Chains A and B, each alone.
Chain A
Amino acid sequence: GQQVMQIPQYQHVQEGEDFTTYCNSSTTLSNIQWYKQRPGGHPVFLIQLVKSGEVKKQKRLTFQFGEAKKNSSLHITATQTTDVGTYFCAGSRNYGQNFVFGPGTRLSVLP
């Protein structure tokens, strides 16, 4: 079956440093979503990528979908303590099918 992997599992950064998490799928995806979950909270949608090579930005967050549509990345510039949480990617093989979530990357930001 479809597998979605994320690296790293954990990342500790000093406030102001950059952070990147990578998402890799065992199969080609039709679309990919990113979610953020704060400690003790529930996943909150960040963005959806659909096109090969697509790049989207949200303030300090940059999301990229690979050319082969099998990988994606989330980059945070100049992290803040409010960025603390676990970031999940979720991929769908075909539009209309369910999403498979990666295991997440837990980000800690030291003030």
Chain B
Amino acid sequence: NAGVTQTPKFRVLKTGQSMTLLCAQDMNHEYMYWYRQDPGMGLRLIHYSVGEGTTAKGEVPDGYNVSRLKKQNFLLGLESAAPSQTSVYFCASTAYQETQYFGPGTRLLVL
């Protein structure tokens, strides 16, 4: 099992550009999450999904959109990237309230 994978691993964007981050899990988990991690601030929840076809806002959803068309995939989109979105993005999946399995992360730099 690959667990949780994320693509790309690293990306540089110019302000105003758009991009999509892909998260895939092969553990048949219902719950999937997108977090961002900034120095000294831990992990903050952007959006999450409790099942295929469902999404919900987390703590810091502005500037991001998500989709969960297939159970194993959770996409995070940046419509118009801003320097404040420079961060490390982690995807995670879990069965109900159990261990969260994290992907390796995507480092995003917005110039």
Q: Determine which of B41, B58, B98, B102 lies in contact with A44 in the assembled complex, contact meaning CB atoms within 8 Å.
A: B102
Q: Is residue B100 contacting chain A, with contact meaning CB distance below 8 A? A: yes
- Least CB separation from B98: chain A residue: A48
* Interchain CB contact under 8 A, A102 and B97: no
Write the nearest CB–CB distance from A14 to chain B, whole angstroms.
25
Segment with Cβ contacts to A, from B19-27, B43-51, B69-77, B79-87:
B43-51
Near B by CB (< 8 A), chain A positions 80-111 give: 88, 90, 92, 95-96, 98-104
Q: Which 9 A-B pairs have the closest CB atoms?
A: A42-B102, A101-B43, A103-B42, A101-B42, A45-B99, A43-B102, A104-B42, A42-B105, A42-B104
Q: Number of contacting residues on A, CB 8 A? A: 24
Q: Determine which of B40, B58, B96, B103 lies in contact with A103 in the assembled complex, contact meaning CB atoms within 8 Å.
A: B40
Write the nearest CB–CB distance from A105 to chain B, whole angstroms.
10
Question: How long is the Cα–Cα vector from A88 to B40 in the complex, in angstroms?
Answer: 11
* Interchain CB contact under 8 A, B43 and A48: no
Instruction: Find chain A residues with CB under 8 A from B44 CB.
Output: 101
* Interchain CB contact under 8 A, B99 and A31: no
* Interchain CB contact under 8 A, B103 and A98: no
